[in-house]
Chain A
Amino acid sequence: MPWNLDSDRPIFLQIVERLESDIVSGKYAPGEKLPAVRELAVEAAVNPNTMQKACAELERIGLVYSQRTSGRFVTEDKKRIDQTRKDLAKKTAKAFLQKMEELGISRDEALKLL
């Protein structure tokens, strides 16, 4: 199945988020090799240049590292992965509260709903 992406937001950001969450959830375990860029692009049905950029970004932020000839691997640094987990959780909580605010529900009221 192609990944479920919004066509009106930069695909690059959505791919980064998706791969971050795949690493946090353990779909790609610490130390595991990521599929090749081409393979990921075909799986997601997205532009290979955009996928390449997203993988480079994951490397830049330290979630994956590359080994010259053998490809990209998920970091073995569990603290780094935990950090991403917290970041993603914060983002999700923020989006939730924002949605509640749009509905006219205060932060306290929103918390009571949980």
Chain B
Amino acid sequence: MSVLLECKNLSHRYGKKVALDDVSFQIESGKIIGLFGPNGSGKTTLIKQIVGLLQDEKQAIKIDGEPVGETTKAKVSYSPDRLAFKGDRKVSDLLDFYELMYDDFDRGHAEEALAGLGIDTGEYIGKMSKGTGEKTQIILVMSRKAKLYVLDEPFAGIDPVARETVIRIMLQNMPEDASLLLSTHHIQETEQILDKAIFIKEGKIVFQKSVEEMREESGRSLSEAYMEVFR
């Protein structure tokens, strides 16, 4: 199993406030990793470093052996924690945008997935329910043939049925050797799809384990482990 992402001793400050403190972990190819922690623990800062939205001056993160930059951005497909598009755009505009921006975007695949969920490409983003907006965004993100998918809270404010659909979109569309980093508060809904979980607390990693090994060794669910660490 080869290492896709390596993060070594990453720290980040906003002024005097330490957002990430000596964070190290690896993501192997073909794995699904869950990133958990309370609000303000550093999850989004870490994700912004990985996708290149914050400067990684010390080159602490390497993706496919290269420091974060244009080359790695082309291999990483990212879904931010809010809808990335304005309401006056239609789904078809987003398809055009993705096609223009990303060489690895498979438009036919995205159209098929949208049709499968009954999402009309003529629909305006602003007129959709939150759940439909999120499904659309995840379909676009997952329709790139990336090596790493990074999803920042794809379940916020959407109902349980929509959450289940989003999980299926992820599983269905992930290429076999690609990896997925999922940051979310919805631990119970996602723990069965994870290979590994990482807990982050006040900028530090306080737990990283294979979820299946944890179940075997301690007979605990990930939700229980989370409550123990953060309660």
Is there contact, CB below 8 Å, between B223 and A7? yes
Is there contact, CB below 8 Å, between A42 and B212? no
Is there contact, CB below 8 Å, between A9 and B212? no
Interface flag for B54 (CB, 8 Å): no
Q: Report the Cα distance A110→B191, complex, angstroms.
A: 37
Interface flag for A97 (CB, 8 Å): no
A41-B171, A42-B172, A45-B171 are contacts. A8–B221 as well, Cβ < 8 Å? yes
Is there contact, CB below 8 Å, between A7 and B222? yes
In the bound complex, residues from chain A placing their C-beta under 8 Å from that of B120 are none
In the bound complex, residues from chain B placing their C-beta under 8 Å from that of A84 are none
A58 → B minimal CB distance (Å): 17
In the bound complex, residues from chain B placing their C-beta under 8 Å from that of A47 are 32, 192-195, 212
Q: Report the Cα distance A9→B174, complex, angstroms.
A: 26
A2-B164, A10-B212 are contacts. A49–B220 as well, Cβ < 8 Å? no
Interface flag for A50 (CB, 8 Å): yes
A45-B192, A49-B31 are contacts. A10–B216 as well, Cβ < 8 Å? yes
In the bound complex, residues from chain B placing their C-beta under 8 Å from that of A6 are 221
Q: Report the Cα distance A38→B172, complex, angstroms.
A: 7
Is there contact, CB below 8 Å, between A45 and B188? no
Interface flag for A5 (CB, 8 Å): yes
- A interface, CB within 8 angstroms of B: 2, 5-12, 38, 41-42, 45-50
Name 14 interchain pairs, CB-CB below 8 A, sorted by A: A2-B192, A6-B221, A7-B188, A7-B215, A7-B223, A10-B212, A12-B212, A38-B172, A45-B167, A45-B192, A46-B193, A48-B174, A49-B30, A49-B31
- B interface, CB within 8 angstroms of A: 30-32, 164, 167-168, 171-172, 174, 176, 188, 191-195, 212, 215-216, 219-224
